[in-house]
Amino acid sequence: MADKLRTQQQLEALQNKYIGTGHADTTKHEWTSNIARDSYASFQGHPPLLHYMSIGMGQGVERTRVHCMESMVLPCGPAPATEEG
Amino acid sequence: MANVQQTQAFYSLTLSPSSAPTCAITCNSIPGLKNQDQQIFEARGSRIYLYYIRENGDKSEVKLETVVDQDCFGIIRGVTSFRIPGTSTDQLVISSDSGRIALVNYDQAKNAFQRVHLETFGKSGIRRTVPGQYLAADPRGRCCMLASAEKNKVVYIVNRNPQNEIVISSPHEANSWANLCFAICALDTGWEHPVFAALEVDYNESESDSSGAMFAAREKQLVYYTVDLGLNHVVKSWSDAVDYTANMLFGVPGGQDGPSGVLICCEGRIYYRHDKASSLCIPIPRRSGPTEDPNRKRIIVSGCLHLSRARHEFFFLLQTEDGDLFKLTMELGEDAQGRKTTPVRMVMKYYDTFPIAKTMLLIRKGYIYIAAENGNSKLYHVNDLAENLEFEAHNNFSSDDVSSDPAEDYTPTYFKPRGLEFTSLAFDVPGLHPLMRTKVDNLTNEDAPQIYALQGTGSSSVFKTIRHGLEIQEVVSSPLGEMPYDNVFSLKHRSSDPYHSYLLLSTQYSDRTTVLSIGDEVETMEDSPFLITRATVEARLMGADTLVQVHARGVHSILESGAVNDWPAPEHRTITAASANERQLLLGLSSSELAFFFMGDDGVLNQLEDMPEMSGKITALGVGQTPEGQQQAKFAVVGCDDDTIRVLSIELDSPLEARSVQALSAAPTSIQVISQIDPSSGTNVNYVHIGLASGLYLRAVIDEITGELGEVRTKFLGARPTRLFPVELEDQQSVLACSSRPWLGYNHPNSGLYTLTPLVTDGAPFTAATGFVTEAIRGLCAVQGDSLLIFVVPNVEGRLASQEVGLRYTPRGMSRNLWFPVWYVVQADGNTLSAGTKKRLLTAATDAAKDGEGDEGMNGQENGEESMAMEKHLGLSRGKGHWASCIQAIDPITSKSVISTIELEENEAALCCTVVNFETKNADLYLAVGTGQHMSPGAKVPGAQTPKGYVHLYHLPDDGKKMVFVHKTEFAVPIYAVHPFQGRLAVGVGRELFIYDIGLKALLRKSRGLVVPNQIVSIQSKGFRIAVADVSESVTFVVFKPSPHNRLIPFADDTISRWTTSTTLLDYETVAGGDKFGNLFVLRVPDQASKESDDTGVGGYLADERSYLGGTPYRLELRSHFFANDIPMSLQRTALVTGGQEVVFWSGLEGTLGILVPFVAREDVEFFTQLEKQIREAEPPLAGRDHLMFRGYYVPVKGVVDGDLCERYLKLGYDARVRIAQEVDREVKEVERKVLEMRTRVAF
């Protein structure tokens, strides 16, 4: 039992420290949002990629960065309503 | 990982590193310079640079000089600098993908960056919760903050201890869950606790609310984080909601200098906010004009602060996304204590328009540095700070009557942009980004091929012809007449003279010498003391003031007094070669004998009686330079036609004693012994430079004691015999080697390495050259064909010379006419008004103006050229959902201009093109252009039509100079790839591959195959085999089975997703490609699949083979993989130098030019793998990223040795070099030679 508790605690610590660690009840929405946020953060962090996208979109790099940042707020729309029960 | 030994391994080298700046900062990091004398610390790709602004006395010449650059082998995300109180130089900080903060200093003694601290705060890699995305430093130099895109922030407090060491604290975290950070900046709080401001959005509630109401009501918060220096922690001290569109923050000076607080830059507006003061707001002025959308809001993309601590004055320069610069000043009111700390109003004044900056820096010496997002970075000289508000009063805007509530509307303000008024361009930093396409081709029949490149975005796009070489600035080029001169000498009259006085031109052909006098003008000298009836073999000023002229029949020496001494050559013998220094003269006679002279203080040449005979006819001689403060050089080198050179001692106590012999591959034609600085030891070493009849050039070191030759380096220069001429360039001894091209050998100012670079000259090769120093010019003089060329080499820092042809829009693709040197470039710009629309708007505006006021408004098309230049300066007019596009034919060789243009209408954008030679049309060439119509890049415009595609066909008559529209064929989706295939046209339509033939009214479909999962972006072919690249699913090999089957059968695809950008077939079975994440890869078809695909007909296995896991029957094998930190846009298998091996040449978006050199020998692979491993251990990358992890960012590096790392060997300290050399069982010199040769053998 103690082992199980410790595992549980460790998992919780992990979930706290690293966003997107996931748990047994991770929903599709959580998972996809998490992936999308990771991607948007990565686009911003790689200057060549951000530059590439900006040229494609015909706008400045800063605007593309803000766009990526803004998309991180709700990348896949709001969470679907959960059925109580 | 890197030790996986493949059948084929590559050596990756960067020819020109990425030029796109990531960020830059001003600093004072060179000790001993004045505070005014700021340097620029800049990050470009994975490299960091330190620049210094060098200006001459009257500031007429300004140069941005690279002090030092270093590869960090990591993705650099931010740099900053701050002055820790009590230290004498600025501390430089680098944030990279290493999950560590690196504090570095510039070490002047070693001319390198020196790491002070490296503190780990998170995982490596670019992750959304690992800080490093944002970096800000306290203006008083007490701490700095790193923030991530989401959640985490970390603050380091930095101090100086009594031992003058820099102490860094443990990290103080300020994390908040589900919190996105848009920007951070440091507040100026004077000497109170440091405060950092952040723009944050909390997404926790909006995510959990399924109705979307919380999302709609989300807020952006301005949050203050106070660093409590006493308690050693960071607390969130204040927060308030701000305009949701905010994207950038600037700290306003505080303490004695101003009110503190922040400027919040939002879409269309700028706010001033602070917890202790009332808010202010000012709209960002919009451009006015008939082609501008009056409702379009701008954002601020960069800015800088100017603060005069002495006068307590400050202002901001802020740049909008159009490039317009505004000067923002704040008027301050007095508070209760009479201090000017209450902001009353903000005033903005239109300043100038510059290229869009990634970072803009205001340098105290009076310059603005624009680290440009696209194209060359620029340094502008500030002529006026626009302090006079009366000047252009219509360009002043104030915050009066503007509500500081973001919810309230405001009246937009407008201005008209103009040319530069307050500044002037001082220096252009050459850059290649964004490099859209390159193609290596030799259109001019030069020795080495040229690189044709498409660069830039919008109206500043260019078609570039890039050559490896140094640009020269021609001063005079005057014809010499019929006489084929083959030698040129320039002499001073007296050794104490600063300038040259005589120029001797000699010709073997008619045995004559022409003497010119150098003064204000260069003119023929009628009564010169020189012998003009003979060809001059050597001419030189010896001793203090004796002019010595050696001709075939003797030595003619002219003393200062005018007296002439003649030494006749012995009977039946002529002088074939001669060389001299200040005191010693060595002659080679036709009888293979050597005659040696020494000049005494009286200026008389004393001959050595002994005349030793050499083994063969003497073809070249080289006497060492007289060492500083001594009378005689130790060695001379004699070259004979039996392909040998000998080193002789020429000291008076052991005259003409042989020291060593070296065999060569051909007869030497020219020898120079020059003392140059050895970069590894920093001392002067005697080098012998040898030019051979075969066009080879050799350089060897003469041992100071024994006279042995060592460290021989070889390079093939061209097809003509190499002749060498010593010249002085930027105060260093250099060699000009003339073969079919002139090459300059010099120690590179940045790397310190001996570099051989060709000079880019038009016309004939150089026959002879010499230094040329007058009051006005410090340059070179050369005989080029039948003219005399006087020129200067302005800059030896760069190694690429380029010529430009301006384009209209962002280039997307290019293709060369198969028979003529003409290129076709397709260009398209999204969200930009097309030329047609613009013209309509302008005409409408002019008409309206005419109706209203009669004559006025005549500014439209009348001054077309002027408006074109203005458009280049100001950029294209934007329009959401519009496309501007054109196709241009370019002649880069003769006219160096655009020779024909076709503008596309109806919202069409040209995306790709190829020249195709249809089988049915014989030698008639056609240009196929794939286009897209109504595309919506980025966000979709509401009400936009669904995108479509076309393939246009243009006939190319008149040597390809004209493009005649034939027809266009409609497709359901935009076309991203067209490729000529077996006398037909292969077109990628979405996920399908089509083969088309030309018809009368449209293209005729011949074959169709469903080959990739998503979208074809690149097609390459060899024979009947086609390599098709998908936008996200790597490369698929397809075989075409010709008539009667007419089938396209995909037979091999890849196991992992690669977001391919471009590909090239290396051979029939191998494809090399690059992806959007910056990887390079080489894939190969398995033997079995390759064989089966070549079976004739479709009767074989292939057609009936079952698909494997939903793909093709076979999988490609990964042969090599490498992370390049730049998006490869073009790849090509080509040779880059004369007689060089073929390499894989690639070019990246950020301006990188690189090569992958295939290893020939297995032992080389082992050697370099070992070396790479040793260097990795000996010198871990500066920013703390693990090198192997970096090169294996997405996929473990495979089959590639990082040559850039191997070249770090040359920069290591002596001990490290010795240790590594021992580890790899080689001598230090041998390792150095091998590393250098890997580059010089195949590239530059």
Question: pLDDT (tens digit, 9 = 90+) per residue, B576-617?
Answer: 999 998 889 999 999 999 999 998 888 888 888 888 888 889
Contact by Cβ (8 Å): B279, B271: yes
What is the average per-residue pLDDT within B1053-1080?
A: 94
- Residue B500: pLDDT over 80: yes
pLDDT at position B728, please? 86
Q: Which residue of B has its CA nearest to A66?
A: B247
- Distance from the B999 Cα atom to the nearest Cα atom in chain A, whole angstroms: 33
Decide if B182 and A66 are in contact by the 8 Å CB cutoff. Answer: yes
- Residue B916: pLDDT over 70: yes
Q: Nearest-CA neighbor of B974 among B1003, B948, B944?
A: B948
Q: Which of B209, B356, B829 sits opposite A60 (nearest CB)?
A: B356
Give tens-digit pLDDT for B757-800: 999 888 788 889 998 888 888 889 999 888 899 999 888 888 89
Looking at this protein, which amino acid is placed at residue B1047? R
Contact by Cβ (8 Å): B733, B725: no
- Residue B854: pLDDT over 70: no
SS3 B214: helix
The domains located in chain B, with CATH, are: 20-429 (2.130.10.10), 473-798 (2.130.10.10), 807-848+879-940+952-968 (no CATH)
Percent of chain B predicted with pLDDT > 70: 98
DSSP assignment of B774-810: -SS-EEEEEEETTEEEEEE---SS--EEEEEEE-SS-
Give tens-digit pLDDT for B706-762: 889 988 888 888 888 999 999 988 778 899 999 988 999 998 888 888 889 999 888
Contact by Cβ (8 Å): B576, B595: no
Q: Which residue of B has its CA nearest to A18?
A: B129
Interface test with A, best of B204, B207, B322, B433 (most A CBs within 10 A): B207
- Residue B679: pLDDT over 80: no
Contact by Cβ (8 Å): B743, B680: no
- Distance from the A11 Cα atom to the nearest Cα atom in chain B, whole angstroms: 17
What is the average per-residue pLDDT within B520-542?
A: 87
**First-to-last C-alpha distance (Å) of chain B:** 29
Decide if A67 and B810 are in contact by the 8 Å CB cutoff. Answer: no
Contact by Cβ (8 Å): B495, B543: yes
- Residue B1101: pLDDT over 70: no
- Residue B342: pLDDT over 90: no
Q: Nearest-CA neighbor of B503 among B474, B481, B480?
A: B480
CA–CA distance, B823 with B927 (Å, rounded to integer): 11
> From edge to edge, which strands make up the β-sheet containing B732-738?
B470-471, B754-760, B742-747, B732-738, B723-729
Interface test with B, best of A50, A53, A74, A83 (most B CBs within 10 A): A74
- Residue A85: pLDDT over 50: no
Q: How sure is the predictor about B1139, in pLDDT bands with cuts at 50, 70 and 90?
A: confident
pLDDT at position B61, please? 85
DSSP assignment of B1163-1197: HHHHHHHHHHHHHHHHS--TTS--HHHHHTSSS--
Contacts of A37 in chain B (CB under 8 A): 128, 150
The pair of structure tokens assigned to B570 is 């012995």
Which ranges constitute the DSSP H helices of B800-894?
A: 835-853, 864-874
Of B139-143, B493-497, B679-683, B907-911, the poorest mean pLDDT is in B679-683
How many CB pairs lie under 8 A apart between chains A and B?
Answer: 144
Give tens-digit pLDDT for B67-96: 999 999 999 999 999 999 888 899 999 999
Cα within 13 Å of Cα(B151), Cβ side:
16
For β-strands B723-729 and B112-120, DSSP reports them as unpaired
Q: How sure is the predictor about B136, in pLDDT bands with cuts at 50, 70 and 90?
A: very high
- Residue B134: pLDDT over 60: yes
Backbone angles phi, psi at B588, to 5 degrees: -110, 125
Q: How sure is the predictor about B863, in pLDDT bands with cuts at 50, 70 and 90?
A: low
CA distance to B391, B935, B969, B994, B1070, per residue, from B1019 (Å): 58, 22, 19, 11, 14
The single residue listed with the structure tokens 């602004």 is: B53
Q: How sure is the predictor about B697, in pLDDT bands with cuts at 50, 70 and 90?
A: very high
Q: How sure is the predictor about B401, in pLDDT bands with cuts at 50, 70 and 90?
A: confident
DSSP assignment of B968-1012: EEEESS-EEEEEEETTEEEEEETTEEEEEEE-SSSEEEEEEEE--
Q: Nearest-CA neighbor of B1076 among A61, A42, A83, A1?
A: A42
Contacts of B878 in chain A (CB under 8 A): 58
Q: Nearest-CA neighbor of B701 among B720, B670, B679?
A: B679
pLDDT at position B1218, please? 94
pLDDT at position B1085, please? 95
CA distance to B84, B469, B881, B952, B1122, per residue, from B891 (Å): 56, 21, 32, 22, 36
Q: Which of B433, B829, B1125 sits opposite A58 (nearest CB)?
A: B829
pLDDT at position B855, please? 46
Give tens-digit pLDDT for B830-851: 888 998 888 888 888 888 877 7
Contact by Cβ (8 Å): B431, B372: yes
Q: How sure is the predictor about B1086, in pLDDT bands with cuts at 50, 70 and 90?
A: very high
pLDDT at position B508, please? 86
Q: At what angle do helices B1162-1178 and B1214-1223 cross, to 10 degrees?
A: 140
What is the average per-residue pLDDT within B1028-1048?
A: 91
What is the average per-residue pLDDT within B1161-1186?
A: 92
pLDDT at position A84, please? 54
Cα within 13 Å of Cα(B317), Cβ side:
25
Contact by Cβ (8 Å): B286, B298: yes
Q: How sure is the predictor about B334, in pLDDT bands with cuts at 50, 70 and 90?
A: confident
CA–CA distance, B301 with B394 (Å, rounded to integer): 24
Q: Which of A46, A57, A59 sits opposite B126 (nearest CB)?
A: A46
Contact by Cβ (8 Å): B1183, B119: no
pLDDT at position B861, please? 45
Query: CB count, 10 Å around CB of B1117?
Result: 19
- Residue B242: pLDDT over 50: yes
Decide if B128 and A38 are in contact by the 8 Å CB cutoff. Answer: yes
What is the average per-residue pLDDT within B534-556?
A: 90
DSSP, res B1239: H
- Give yes or no for A36 touching B (CB within 8 A): no
Q: What angle do CA B549, B555, B561 make, to 5 degrees?
A: 65
- Residue B5: pLDDT over 60: no
CA–CA distance, B106 with B104 (Å, rounded to integer): 7
- Residue B1: pLDDT over 60: no
pLDDT at position B857, please? 40
Contact by Cβ (8 Å): B100, B1184: yes
Question: What letters, b where the CB count within 10 A reaches 16 and e where it falls short, cover B678-715?
Answer: bebeeebbbbbbbbbbbbbbbbbbbbeeebebebebbb
Contact by Cβ (8 Å): B504, B491: yes
pLDDT at position B452, please? 96
- Distance from the B192 Cα atom to the nearest Cα atom in chain A, whole angstroms: 32
What is the average per-residue pLDDT within B1016-1039?
A: 94
- Residue B347: pLDDT over 70: yes
State the average pLDDT for chain B.
90
pLDDT at position B950, please? 95
- Distance from the B215 Cα atom to the nearest Cα atom in chain A, whole angstroms: 8
Q: Which of B22, B299, B302 sits opposite A63 (nearest CB)?
A: B299
Give tens-digit pLDDT for A55-83: 988 889 999 999 999 999 999 888 888 76
The pair of structure tokens assigned to B823 is 């290129």
Decide if B299 and A66 are in contact by the 8 Å CB cutoff. Answer: yes
Q: How sure is the predictor about B856, in pLDDT bands with cuts at 50, 70 and 90?
A: very low
Give tens-digit pLDDT for B921-938: 888 999 999 999 998 876
DSSP assignment of B1108-1141: STTS-SEEPEEEEEEE-SS-EEEEEEEE-STTPP
Q: Which residues pair with B286 in a beta bridge?
A: B414
Contact by Cβ (8 Å): B464, B1153: no
Q: What angle do CA B389, B392, B393 make, to 5 degrees?
A: 55
Q: How sure is the predictor about B853, in pLDDT bands with cuts at 50, 70 and 90?
A: low
- Residue B325: pLDDT over 60: yes
Decide if B1076 and A42 are in contact by the 8 Å CB cutoff. Answer: no
Between B1139 and B104, whose confidence is greater? B104
Query: CB count, 10 Å around CB of B939?
Result: 12
Contact by Cβ (8 Å): B1013, B991: yes
- Distance from the B1041 Cα atom to the nearest Cα atom in chain A, whole angstroms: 36
What is the average per-residue pLDDT within B647-659?
A: 87
CA–CA distance, B195 with B294 (Å, rounded to integer): 38
Q: Which residue of B has its CA nearest to A61?
A: B373
CA–CA distance, B84 with B141 (Å, rounded to integer): 5
Decide if A51 and B373 are in contact by the 8 Å CB cutoff. Answer: yes
Q: Which of A45, A73, A78 sits opposite B180 (nearest CB)?
A: A73
Contact by Cβ (8 Å): B770, B488: yes
Contacts of B212 in chain A (CB under 8 A): 77-78
The segment with the largest mean pLDDT, out of B529-538, B773-782, B1019-1028, is B1019-1028
Interface test with A, best of B126, B146, B267 (most A CBs within 10 A): B126
CA–CA distance, B1090 with B1067 (Å, rounded to integer): 12
Q: Nearest-CA neighbor of A78 among B150, B201, B178, B206?
A: B206
Decide if A62 and B299 are in contact by the 8 Å CB cutoff. Answer: yes
For β-strands B1114-1115 and B1047-1053, DSSP reports them as parallel
Give tens-digit pLDDT for B1193-1204: 999 999 999 999
Percent of chain B predicted with pLDDT > 90: 57
- Distance from the B283 Cα atom to the nearest Cα atom in chain A, whole angstroms: 18
The single residue listed with the structure tokens 């089509």 is: B994
Label residue B1171 left, alpha or beta by phi (over 0 means left) and psi (-120 to 50 means alpha): alpha
Q: Which residue of A has its CA nearest to B211?
A: A78
Decide if A41 and B149 are in contact by the 8 Å CB cutoff. Answer: yes
- Give yes or no for A35 touching B (CB within 8 A): no
pLDDT at position B615, please? 86
- Distance from the B1089 Cα atom to the nearest Cα atom in chain A, whole angstroms: 35
CA–CA distance, B744 with B729 (Å, rounded to integer): 10
Backbone angles phi, psi at B1174, to 5 degrees: -65, -45
